[in-house]
C-alpha cells in the first residue's frame, strides 16, 4: 500500500468501502442480489401480519350521496328513525340517528319525538344495521310531515327473549357500522370511548355458537340509555349477564353497567 498526496492506493482498494467514494463492486453485487430478497421478505411478513388480524367486516360509510328517509322519530333509548319496510324483518327498519363528529347528545330533537318526519343525511351500514349521519350545526336535515305517525312505528311491540350471558366487546355504533376500519379492539378504544361519551349508542359485538356475528344495541336494565360508567370496559374483551328484548326489528341487550365485567375476571 502506498500513500501518495492523501490518496490511498493498494491492489485491493476496489474492494474497500470509502464513504465518499463509489461503492465497491463486491458491495454493489451484494445489494443487487439482496434487495429483491429483502423486499420479498418484508412483503411476506406484512401479508402474514395482515392475515392474522380480525376481519374488519363489511361496514360502509356512504359519503358519496345524501339519503332521504321518511319514518317515525323516537328519542328512546337513543335518537332513531323507524321506517316501514315490508321486505325487512317485522315490516320495519330502524335507523339510528348520529351526528357528525362525536356529539350526538347535542342534537336538539325533542320537538320531533313520536312524530312522522322526513330526514336526510349520510348512510352508514353494516349488514342489516343502519345509521344516518346528520349535521350538528343546523336542523335543515329533519322536517315534520303532515301525516300522522304510524302507531306500529311509534310504539313497536316488545318481545322478551329471556336472560343471556355473553362474551364479546363494547363498541360505538357509528364507527363499528362502517365509519372506521378497524372499529373494534384496543386500537380503537380512545375513539370509541369519546363517541359513546358523546351520545353515540354503544353496541355489544359477540359471536353466536355457530360463528355468526351478533350486534346488540346496549341499554340499561330498564331499556334506557347507557351511562358513562361503562366506559372503562369499552373496546376490551368483556362479559355480561342481562336480558335480550326485541323492539321492532332491533334486539336490545338490557343490562346495567355493573352487570359487565372484564372477560378474564
| Average confidence (pLDDT) over 239-249 | 96
* pLDDT band (50, 70, 90) for residue 176: confident
Higher pLDDT, 180 or 80: 80
Q: Report the mean per-residue pLDDT for the chain.
A: 85
- 21-30, 74-83, 87-96: least confidently modelled range: 21-30
Q: Where do the domains of the chain lie, and which CATH numbers do they carry?
A: 60-154 (2.40.50), 158-262 (2.40.50)
Distance CA 173, CA 201 (A): 6
Residue 185, pLDDT > 80, answer: no
pTM for the structure as a whole: 0.77
Q: Yes or no: say if 174 and 98 are a contact pair by the CB < 8 Å rule.
A: yes
pLDDT tens, residue by residue, 127-156? 888 999 999 887 889 999 999 999 999 999
| Average confidence (pLDDT) over 183-209 | 86
| Average confidence (pLDDT) over 225-251 | 95
Residue 53, pLDDT > 50, answer: no
Residue 56, pLDDT > 60, answer: no
Here the cell at position 199 is 351520545
- 22-26, 45-49, 94-98, 137-141: least confidently modelled range: 45-49
Percent of the chain with pLDDT over 70: 83
Higher pLDDT, 126 or 99: 99
Residue 11, pLDDT > 70, answer: no
Distance CA 38, CA 33 (A): 9
- 60-64, 102-106, 192-196, 221-225: least confidently modelled range: 60-64
The one-character DSSP state at 12 is T
Here the cell at position 233 is 370496559
| Average confidence (pLDDT) over 77-98 | 94
Distance CA 175, CA 60 (A): 10
pLDDT of residue 213: 79
| Average confidence (pLDDT) over 56-73 | 83
Residue 45, pLDDT > 80, answer: no
* pLDDT band (50, 70, 90) for residue 50: very low
| Average confidence (pLDDT) over 206-229 | 88
pLDDT of residue 183: 56
CA dihedral 38, 40, 44, 47 (to 10 degrees): 110
Greatest alpha-carbon pair distance for the chain in Å reads: 102
Q: Yes or no: say if 59 and 126 are a contact pair by the CB < 8 Å rule.
A: yes
Amino acid at each position: 500500500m502506498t500513500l501518495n498526496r492523501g490518496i490511498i492506493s493498494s491492489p485491493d482498494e476496489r474492494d474497500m468501502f470509502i464513504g465518499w467514494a463509489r461503492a465497491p463492486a463486491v458491495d454493489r453485487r451484494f445489494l443487487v442480489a439482496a434487495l429483491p430478497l429483502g423486499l420479498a421478505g418484508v412483503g411476506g411478513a406484512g401479508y402474514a401480519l395482515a392475515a392474522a388480524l380480525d376481519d374488519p367486516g363489511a361496514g360502509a360509510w356512504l359519503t358519496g350521496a345524501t339519503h332521504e328517509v321518511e319514518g317515525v322519530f323516537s328519542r328512546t333509548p337513543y335518537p332513531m328513525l323507524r321506517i316501514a319496510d315490508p321486505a325487512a324483518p317485522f315490516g320495519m327498519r330502524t335507523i339510528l340517528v348520529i351526528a357528525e363528529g362525536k356529539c350526538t347528545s347535542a342534537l336538539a330533537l325533542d320537538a320531533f319525538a313520536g312524530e312522522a318526519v322526513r330526514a336526510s343525511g349520510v348512510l352508514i351500514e353494516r349488514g342489516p344495521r343502519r345509521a344516518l349521519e346528520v349535521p350538528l350545526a343546523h336542523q335543515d336535515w329533519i322536517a315534520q310531515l303532515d301525516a300522522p305517525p304510524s302507531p306500529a312505528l311509534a310504539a313497536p311491540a316488545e318481545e322478551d327473549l329471556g336472560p343471556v350471558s355473553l362474551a364479546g366487546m363494547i363498541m360505538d355504533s357509528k364507527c363499528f357500522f362502517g365509519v372506521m376500519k378497524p372499529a373494534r379492539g384496543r386500537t380503537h378504544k380512545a375513539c370509541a370511548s369519546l363517541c359513546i361519551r358523546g351520545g353515540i349508542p354503544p353496541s355489544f359485538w359477540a359471536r353466536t355458537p355457530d360463528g355468526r356475528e351478533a350486534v346488540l344495541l346496549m341499554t340499561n336494565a330498564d331499556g334506557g340509555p347507557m351511562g358513562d360508567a361503562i366506559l372503562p370496559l369499552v373496546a376490551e374483551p368483556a362479559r355480561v349477564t342481562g336480558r335480550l328484548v326485541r323492539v321492532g326489528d332491533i334486539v336490545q341487550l338490557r343490562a346495567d353497567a355493573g352487570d359487565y365485567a372484564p372477560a378474564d375476571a
